[in-house]
Structure 1
């Protein structure tokens, strides 16, 4: 919708911004949607039902949800509900906008004339430099060439790669995810998470009806074996055994079930992917290996055998993978930070990295109709492709670029599936709040995504990342309120967690490959230049005064000497948790290791979600299928204490010890108001 004015207030729907002169207010997207609905029908009473349908589109919401948005709009417009100028309440009827909006497109000619006059006046007042005549001719020629090029390209590039804005396929208030199309693309499976169970639901993509196939008490994986058989994972908590359950379908219901026992050494299924008909590829953990590792497995229904094809590289976490006739393509994270695209050749059994510098975390799907790999950004709205021609290049130094689509959505699209004309996926919408185990502390609850909380050693300051302005930005919360530290003008996708100095007056973080230092007393932000691309800061070493960081180069860390601002790379596999003159403790996979003392620690079960150090102690957040725990380790890696964590703790990011009570206070992010929907984007074009 075009920008518009309400009296002297300027409304910019594309940026969710409301301007009162130079003052800019940001409102949440649903509030802006509601304001645009009013602006399209001014001076007309709109019922609650009409507004519900326009804003929430077939979802069930209470009247309080609408009233909350009305309150937000009145506050943003500085409108008094008792003597409303803009939004009027009509008892038992609805609401109306009583101001006629002036849309910008109708004001363009007036604004153009004003701008012309301003430009002429500015040109008369501004100093200028006289170029020699030959240079003027060259400059004019270049300008004409550039203008012609822009005009020519804009008028000849009619075959733009495009995806329409996704439309919801599911509409309930529960979480629906993992859309999985049958081989003929005639049926769609998805997982629905209710308050007490997980349901496997079947529906035709183009029809309204849906059919419940089976339920389990815990989440499970599933995939099509063929157009009438579905495989899903099933665990037996009592015995610890893993099974594949094969469901034979007919007339939208389960006609028969078959249980296939999985070998006992294959555990922790991560992903199932349909291969050729009646075969499945899957990721799991092989406990028979000396060091249990993630492995790629193929299952053949005919033989009911599980065959290990490849052991995946150590310290590599696969995000997603896609089957593509003669190959499998993986997106993976190396060393907790480096994003890669990996190819497994099914004919040669070779596993190789074909792109080591993906800019984000992507879900992938293979497009058989166009012979290309589709990548969907899970951190921001964006869909890309890579042709099979580029993927099959043998030159290891050739650059593989992602070709973007014109994608009309503001929400990321994950878990994608591709048909000839459409892309299916999942959209997740949620707020993330920052909380702690100390109820007396003020939590960060901005109704936006707030995460990466990092508390100073005294507990007086909290640095955190928030998306409240539509891009990640770094803030600090203290007794004086919340201050913006880094506004991310180049809109980088990721800002690393802040690492505090032992003096409690400075912290360091990385963004866009660069390192920044912030001094709280001076309120000064300093950038450190480096040839190394820094992913994140891992540790602030006091003596000597230096930072330990992870770089973009595989298995490489860096020391940043703060006195000289020099950066020195060195080889290291893992993340530095603690370092002094005598010892160095690192975290790699699910192992914490003291390199100097040759000691290691691993949780008896579960995975290490996050690990960091506080006052010479190592804190490890460990999650398994049933619960989360926080372990406090001494530097000799003996467990000093362990605590069972509340169920809403998703990721413990930092902690401090209260100086008077010596109690540990930890901060974590937790998800609120999450809703996931299956969506479909049509008009899939080249």
Structure 2
């Protein structure tokens, strides 16, 4: 059976799931490649949709939309579109045909060239260029005739004798990352995040959190003695940290106490600790820069006196530079026409790498000087393994002109020109993007699972002592579907006995159903999928899901229907299946915007851009929302009105439930409460265990909620070959 073939000038390698032209290689989903292969076996023949669905997805119920997505992926790589169909042609109400010449081969021993490239190579007067081109283009069609093999062999011999061949076959720098060992650094019951090396490579600096991921402290660990040292005297709400190149000053962002209600916009302070003194005794941080009216995050030292950090102004991020010498700041990079993403800085290369989303809706990699001058800007060539709306967080690596990023369970390199390649490192648990040691031979990352369960109770839950062990908590709150992975966002089926929930028990985030003596998966989302919201249809026969920033309707038989929207979906709040309108948080021109969207006509009604965290709509059409400060709002005649009775009740709350004109949620004191929107009456219904995170649904006096079983995150070190 042939594993290689050509479609015109495109080389297809089934063993690698790749399609190549010249030196451009694209990795494609196996099912999409199977569609192309089946069409290639029947060139210039019309193959019906039903035949393709039966052959490619046997014993699986899928909709024609699934096939259409595969065709769209193939056309994008082959240079086709709906109007220009040079390779794959659509035959209305009949099917598809492959109109290109197809050539099959199982010969893997020599280079692959198209006929046009053979002619160019034969006529070339530069033997060195001819050899390099022939040997490097391993993804082109093999049509080299026997009479050319002898001259080519002679050329190889001459180059070898002349000592020139080495420059073509031995790259100056490694082009692959291979990790041969993973070692735990902080194997404790605590939760650690944001590990970095000191500039001299002697210390690992990281954050250690208290329960519920609220307060944290900064720690350092000596690589040689393995001694851990507490750096910050008090626990606080500290963000990512950065140590100056000379190893003297540690900076980080601090916000106000996260256990207290916020009466105004949060104050973000750039804090400082003398690192050398902190190694001897924990220090009380002091303020370098106060931001009262804007959000700042991720400080990174550019040199010993200048710090780059991100600042959010009018709901849009920009990159600024703060000078510790003059106590002044200036804007480094603030493109008005795009949404700025995450950035990283290389001291050795003196380069800033950041991602941004342009007007063409594509993500770009931008390289800047420390003064903010744009050196290059390239679109990121997303492979099929990475969702197109996923914002990539680049980190500099030990490879020349290569960055690295993580999608959770997969690691990738990102070239300075936007090319993405997968790193062969199978992960059994989610892992953060590695931060490299100054010597480039090892890297730090965060590894671990966040294990949550879903449980049910009544609106008057039995009291459970916070000191009870997990087994007793499970007895009080029987789990709907226990696993050692994350289960969340459970919802009752309208008119039925099923419960839908989001789970990573199969390795990836999927929608599962529990009830009627069954437990089954109904979605087939790809690896590293993020799910932000699910809602039942009124008839209980399907669910609307926000998966990877796109809206998909998942039916109980496993089939799917996709809704293409012009903007990325940050959160699905609510769905009215009868009118097919959804309450969504959209990313519009780089700004998170609360909007109501007609999924059929794609009409968008913007409600506000107030950094909404959760929203629901009442039966009479009122939209109740919770903002970033966990305050509750309702619509007013002139402007939205703050629900004063709920001040402080949203602290640490991910979401609330709206039912029969009543708001239900769980507050910081673990109290289950209700609020009547008609009478403005607030009531405490009972107290939950401290490990209960949030309420997700309510029906006929019963509630569903998510609680933490374990949240182990630890620093690990990866060693490179």
Structure-2-length-normalised TM-score: 0.56
Tell me which of 424, 427, 432 is aligned to 1:406. 424
SS of the aligned residue for 1:166 comes to strand
Residue pair 2:543, 2:554 contacting (<8 A) in 1 also: yes
Q: Greater strand percent: which structure?
A: 1
Tell me which of 516, 525, 539 is aligned to 2:574. 539
CA gap of 1:385–1:251, structure 2 versus 1, over 3 A, is same
| Offset at residue 182 of structure 1 (A) | 1.6
Whole-angstrom distance in 1 between the partners of 2:283 and 2:653: 39
SS of the aligned residue for 2:712 comes to strand
Q: Does 1:280 align with 2:307?
A: yes
| Offset at residue 471 of structure 1 (A) | 2.5
| Offset at residue 475 of structure 1 (A) | 1.8
Whole-angstrom distance in 2 between the partners of 1:162 and 1:635: 58
CA gap of 1:460–1:313, structure 2 versus 1, over 3 A, is farther
SS of the aligned residue for 1:273 comes to strand
Q: How does 1:623-642 map to 2 (within 5 A)?
A: 641=682
Counterpart in the other structure of 1:428:
448
| Offset at residue 146 of structure 1 (A) | 6.3
Counterpart in the other structure of 2:698:
656
Whole-angstrom distance in 2 between the partners of 1:501 and 1:483: 20
| Offset at residue 353 of structure 1 (A) | 11
SS of the aligned residue for 1:433 comes to strand
| Offset at residue 423 of structure 1 (A) | 1.9
Q: Does 1:387 align with 2:391?
A: no
Counterpart in the other structure of 1:454:
491
Q: Does 1:322 align with 2:344?
A: yes
Whole-angstrom distance in 2 between the partners of 1:363 and 1:264: 24
CA gap of 1:592–1:309, structure 2 versus 1, over 3 A, is farther
Whole-angstrom distance in 2 between the partners of 1:190 and 1:254: 17
Counterpart in the other structure of 1:600:
640
After superposition, what is the alpha-carbon deviation per residue over 1:139-170, rounded to whole angstroms, capped at 9, x for unaligned? 8x61234686799969x999644233422123
Whole-angstrom distance in 1 between the partners of 2:625 and 2:210: 40
Whole-angstrom distance in 2 between the partners of 1:504 and 1:369: 51
Residue pair 1:293, 1:314 contacting (<8 A) in 2 also: no
Counterpart in the other structure of 1:162:
178
Q: Does 1:374 align with 2:413?
A: no
Whole-angstrom distance in 2 between the partners of 1:415 and 1:492: 14
Counterpart in the other structure of 2:205:
189
Tell me which of 229, 242, 253 is aligned to 1:223. 242
After superposition, what is the alpha-carbon deviation per residue over 1:280-339, rounded to whole angstroms, capped at 9, x for unaligned? 334567xxx7x6876755443323446676789999897x542246665556999xxx99
SS of the aligned residue for 2:290 comes to coil
| Offset at residue 220 of structure 1 (A) | 2.4
SS of the aligned residue for 2:441 comes to coil
Tell me which of 486, 493, 507 is aligned to 2:522. 486
SS of the aligned residue for 1:497 comes to strand
Counterpart in the other structure of 1:469:
506
Stretches of structure 2 lacking an aligned partner (at least 5 in a row): 1-100, 113-134, 140-168, 462-475
Tell me which of 262, 272, 292 is aligned to 1:245. 272
Residue pair 2:230, 2:282 contacting (<8 A) in 1 also: no
Whole-angstrom distance in 1 between the partners of 2:639 and 2:675: 12
After superposition, what is the alpha-carbon deviation per residue over 1:257-291, rounded to whole angstroms, capped at 9, x for unaligned? 77335436267764333332233334567xxx7x6
Q: Does 1:515 align with 2:552?
A: yes
Residue pair 1:455, 1:654 contacting (<8 A) in 2 also: no
Whole-angstrom distance in 2 between the partners of 1:640 and 1:263: 39
Tell me which of 318, 321, 326 is aligned to 1:303. 326
What is the RMSD of the two structures over their aligned residues, measured on CA atoms?
Answer: 5.3
CA gap of 1:429–1:348, structure 2 versus 1, over 3 A, is closer
Counterpart in the other structure of 1:528:
561
* Structure 1 stretch displaced more, 304-313 or 226-235: 304-313
SS of the aligned residue for 1:249 comes to helix
After superposition, what is the alpha-carbon deviation per residue over 1:154-208, rounded to whole angstroms, capped at 9, x for unaligned? 9x99964423342212333333332121223332212334689855332343553
Whole-angstrom distance in 1 between the partners of 2:105 and 2:271: 65
Stretches of structure 1 lacking an aligned partner (at least 5 in a row): 1-137, 391-399
Whole-angstrom distance in 2 between the partners of 1:317 and 1:602: 31
After superposition, what is the alpha-carbon deviation per residue over 1:352-396, rounded to whole angstroms, capped at 9, x for unaligned? 99669655465542247634432122x32x2222223x2xxxxxx
Whole-angstrom distance in 1 between the partners of 2:208 and 2:543: 42
SS of the aligned residue for 2:104 comes to helix
SS of the aligned residue for 2:200 comes to coil
SS of the aligned residue for 1:216 comes to coil
| Offset at residue 622 of structure 1 (A) | 9.2
Whole-angstrom distance in 2 between the partners of 1:421 and 1:410: 23
Residue pair 1:203, 1:210 contacting (<8 A) in 2 also: yes
Residue pair 1:374, 1:386 contacting (<8 A) in 2 also: yes
| Offset at residue 414 of structure 1 (A) | 1.6
After superposition, what is the alpha-carbon deviation per residue over 1:660-682, rounded to whole angstroms, capped at 9, x for unaligned? xxx5x543333322222211112
After superposition, what is the alpha-carbon deviation per residue over 1:498-520, rounded to whole angstroms, capped at 9, x for unaligned? 312345555333557563343xx
Counterpart in the other structure of 1:568:
602
Whole-angstrom distance in 2 between the partners of 1:216 and 1:628: 24
Tell me which of 104, 124, 127 is aligned to 1:142. 104
SS of the aligned residue for 2:490 comes to strand
SS of the aligned residue for 2:300 comes to strand
Tell me which of 656, 673, 676 is aligned to 2:710. 673
Counterpart in the other structure of 2:658:
614
CA gap of 1:312–1:482, structure 2 versus 1, over 3 A, is farther
